[in-house]
Structure 1
């Protein structure tokens, strides 16, 4: 359904006014907005809905009725996409409950070539800890699952000064909350200057950043850093760069003060448009650092390998952009297979979700008020033909706490404060999709993850096998049948297994 929208703003609440400000360029241009109401009805059965040990496992039927809406528009001055679902969940042996899912993001050009605005908002369920029962379905009931709400408003000025530089001045206003467990607000101001050398010889890039973070569980924290990068193209396929800077963080570190000089040196190799390799080695106040970013692409295949090291936090990871290499590749590749852009994105999201490839790189971004040194490696690959797609994802994430565990007593309890001092998570995920016909698809997902607490010796394993059959029953009705088996083991106890089956109909108006 396509509608025309005409709005006269004025005297509205802040959130509504921001959305109208973002939409103003499209309204002025009489943009076309696509509004699609949906409703999903799903009936499912789980033989262990609360993911308890075998002697406490209990089966239960679940009925889910989820009305939703999708809104989108795309013009030269505005790109906006919103998907919202209200989940009404009825259980056979426990009280009903309501849940929500939201994924909204947009980009608007307020003043041509000068003022822009990025905005996003999400509501989704996440696991609180990497240890213990792991939430796989919003209808499951565990003490380890929480709903996280986040929003980002990011106005910025961008202008090109001919012969000198391109300047970007950005202000980020961010919030992440989950009931009483997380409530973090941050404001960041960044200035980026990229030199204009006409594409010849050495070039430069200057970045300055100031971040103020307010966590309800601790005192405000300020982070400041400045970096200057000089780059030089050796030839058409090889380039080198060197970076120097200084960073100053005022969180209460366990070791030396989190401040000092930083620097790195590296190179970029692009022998062809299909192949890229970038690597660097450097030093920051916490020690040596390394980075790697490699990609190889053919017509039907894509591989990417990444390694990074940085100081991070739970709320920072929630607001970071997930890797988009696999989904972007499939979006381009499936253009002829699924011409409708929205249906194509839905099919990709379903495939990656069944393969357990969505989220934080296959590993759990566990809740914490602490800051961590995170070292992360990822290998992802996808191969696709007109009827078959296979995807593989390997991830390894290590975190070493930089601040005291006392601040997490409300999350972990006094007897588990050492659990997340040093952690290591490893995962392997495999997805296979077969297009049986123009209307039917079978998708199989297999995953195995391991979470280790290097400080306490605890080790948990999670194995998941998922099967999904989807069929387009008519132009407006889609049907799915899903089957899942999950198995959890731990040397700390609490082993369980779960089997579930469900069937759903989704109606698009």
Structure 2
């Protein structure tokens, strides 16, 4: 690892510092070049039915870089990989992977900037072959590039309110399949009552979406929330507002007044429960957010309903309670922060709980009413950790399915009118020594079209062994077994084995 104090060098920041060298001038940077070498074998390269399965060896060379800083005015984490893959029976290919997030304070107590960028492989549909390894090609995956930048003004007006004025720009693209841009402005005022009596929060938003396959859409809303704390552990709140969205809905007109009633119960610093019931233009709405934490255990439960899009889900912030809990829990067991982060990432990745939570954000140009529930938990002993994640997602199309003819084909347009996905994922990590660990992950998911009756099931079992050979070299080996069944046919099985070495400089 290189500890490097940079003086006006915006080239490494990529996300926010090109126009803000003064923010980075005194920052201390951790820059870690890496190289990943991997050799693997799969007995079903194209995820085809058994009579068409073909085995293949895969060689991967992936140079990359990790860049991070955590200063008083700038926080940034960037991981970039250039993946070069060689196959024994098909042409070689090159791909990229990027995960970058940053937050900067440009003017003290006034101007701030958030930015995100990503390059990753995604499943195009919840039906058909599913992505299990970026090196294995199939017709149901595509590279998605996302970028977002959000400058905002925030200031505290003593005795009155805290004001936040934010501008958002987002772009998600995937070749000719998706190309969506959105711009938005938000004004939020949070009242200051000195901690006594009623609290209030006013928010006004306007967003313009430009999908290359559709006419532009404008979405706006305004809401006022009042809350009252009865005591230190119980508070009630009520929200009233108006929303208007001008996409062409095939059901209820997407506009009108809305309201919500709810409460927050916090009996202790380790337990929290928030629940609400309300009404919007599409009907009654419910929301739940609960968490429970002990010294060696963490549970979270959530439920929400909202109008969403494929583009919007790419930029939604996933719950990170499990990774935060493991970071704190393993602080004494794995004092090296880089090794601890790597161990957590391997554990969550092998148990398939990092990122998409088991259900597919399938590509579509439509607007959906989405109802989503998640239950996550982790239990840890001094040498092991067991994690469980259960998720269910239901979507009902709000706009005509004809706009997805390019994605689905004319004979499959009703496939995603109404869908329900359910997934269960379990991961177990055993720390065999100070430098070695074993991780076992199992998952099962089901995607069902409630309009056509098609149902696809996917099961996977993975085993991974990691070993820190030195401060700069780690090695790993992994096994997997995957099964896919569908009422539409094209069932397949896939087995894979691989070994890799990662070197940092």
Range of TM-score over shorter length: over 0.9
Match of 1:385 among 373, 381, 385: 381
Determine if contact 1:362/1:395 at 8 Å carries over to the other structure.
Answer: yes
Instruction: List alignment gaps of at least 5 residues for structure 2.
Output: none
Q: How does 1:466-485 map to 2 (within 5 A)?
A: 466-485=462-481
Do residues 144 (structure 1) and 145 (structure 2) align? no
Q: What is the rounded CA distance, in whole Å, between the counterparts of 1:31 and 1:233 in structure 2?
A: 41
**Correspondence for 1:171:** 167
1:24 corresponds in structure 2 to 22
Instruction: Tell me the secondary structure at the aligned position of residue 419 of structure 1.
Output: helix
Question: Counterpart in 1 of 2:130?
Answer: 134
Deviating more after overlay: 31-40 vs 330-339: 330-339
Alignment partners' CA distance in 1, 2:462 and 2:163: 48
Distance in 2 separating the partners of 1:381 and 1:4 = 40
Q: Is the 8 A contact 1:85 1:101 kept in 2?
A: yes
- Aligned: 1:84 with 2:85: no
CA contact (8 A) 2:39 2:499 kept: yes
Alignment of 1:33-432 (within 5 A): 33-432=29-428
Match of 2:432 in 1: 436
* SS of the residue 2:345 aligns to: helix
- For the 8 Å contact 1:22–1:107, the answer to whether it is kept is no
C-alpha displacement of 1:417: 0.3
Distance of aligned partners of 1:17 and 1:355 in 2 relative to their CA distance in 1, 3 Å threshold: closer
Preserved CA contact (<8 Å) 2:35 2:503: yes
Contact kept in structure 1, 2:415 and 2:451, CA below 8 Å: yes
Deviation at 1:16, TM superposition (A): 5.8
1:189-237 C-alpha deviation (Å, 9 max, x unpaired) = 0011000011111010001100000000001000000010000011111
Count, aligned residues: 503
Instruction: Work out whether residues 22 and 108 of structure 1, in 8 Å CA contact, stay in contact via their aligned partners in 2.
Output: no
The 3-state SS of whatever aligns with 2:138 is: coil
SS in 1 for 2:24: helix
Which residue of the partner structure matches residue 6 of structure 1? 7
**Residue 164 to residue 433, structure 1, CA distance change in 2 (3 Å):** same
| RMSD of equivalent CA atoms | 1.2
The answer to whether the Cα contact below 8 Å between 2:277 and 2:286 also exists between their aligned partners in 1 is yes
Deviation of the 1:255 alpha carbon: 1.4
CA contact (8 A) 1:40 1:507 kept: yes
CA distance in 2, matches of 1:300, 1:87: 38
State the alpha-carbon separation in 2 of the partners of residues 92 and 8 from structure 1: 42
**Equivalent pair of 1:22/1:78 in contact (CA under 8 Å):** no
Aligned to 2:416, the other structure's residue is in SS state: coil
| Superposed displacement of residue 81, structure 1 | 1.0
TM-score (norm: length of structure 1): 0.97
Q: Distance in 2 between matches of 1:500 and 1:191?
A: 51
- Distance (Å, rounded) in 2 between the aligned partners of 1:417 and 1:142: 21
Residue range with higher mean Cα deviation, 275-284 or 18-27: 18-27
Contact preservation (8 Å) 1:22, 1:117: no
TM-score (normalizing by structure 2): 0.98
Superposition deviation, residue 474 in structure 1 = 1.4
How far apart are the structure 2 equivalents of 1:73 and 1:359?
A: 23
**TM-aligned CA deviation for residue 492 of structure 1:** 0.6
Alpha-carbon separation, structure 2, partners of 1:124 and 1:248: 33
